[in-house]
Amino acid sequence: MADRPIRVLFLCLGNICRSPLAEGVFRAKVEEAGLATHFEIDSAGTGPWHAGEPPDARMRSTAQKNGVDLGTIRGRQLSKADLDRFDHIFAMDKSNLHDALFLDPGGDHGTRIRLFREFDPDPGDYQVPDPYYGGPSGFDHVYAIVDRTAQAILERLYTAHRLDSEPDH
């Protein structure tokens, strides 16, 4: 394989709903495809409030219902060092994207920091709605968005990083 894994970070506000789900769903797809050694996968929030906490119980049960375990994920706040470390940072909404870019306003981030739903085949307004203050149907809606977008991102990275030509796969 390449000399180091591809580093992928999913970003939202609290790191207890949307981005931990994206982390868990993407990891499950990577493992199912036998590509685990090729990726380092993480998530973070732009805000500090939920650092150290497990994902929201409603998000955990929505994921569990779909065979995805978020149990080991703990909230953490995005740092400036993350902007350099990760090859791909996928922001759940435009304010998350803005906040990430303005952690390092002079930085040369190229196309590494982007909206997650840029890769959604049905992108709507390009943002993953925050289900935190809504009812249960919001969580299923977010799951559907995250599931199809994580699949599209994996296919895109598989091609872009030429994982098909890697000898250990």
Q: Which residues are catalytic?
A: 12, 18, 130
The nearest distance, CB 70 to ligand 4NP, in angstroms, is: 12
Q: 49 vs 102, which CB is nearer to ligand 4NP?
A: 49
Nearer to ligand 4NP, 15 or 62 (CB): 15
What are the contacts of 134-143 at 24+ separation with CB within 8 A?
A: 136/58, 139/58, 139/59, 139/62, 140/62, 142/17, 142/18, 142/21, 142/59, 142/62, 143/21, 143/25, 143/62, 143/63, 143/66
CB of 16 to ligand 4NP, least distance (A): 4
Site residues (CB under 6 A) for ligand 4NP?
12-18, 45, 49, 130, 132
Q: Which residue is nearest to ligand 4NP (CB)?
A: 14
CB of 48 to ligand 4NP, least distance (A): 10
Q: Is the four-CA dihedral 73, 77, 78, 81 of positive or negative sign?
A: negative
Nearer to ligand 4NP, 5 or 123 (CB): 123
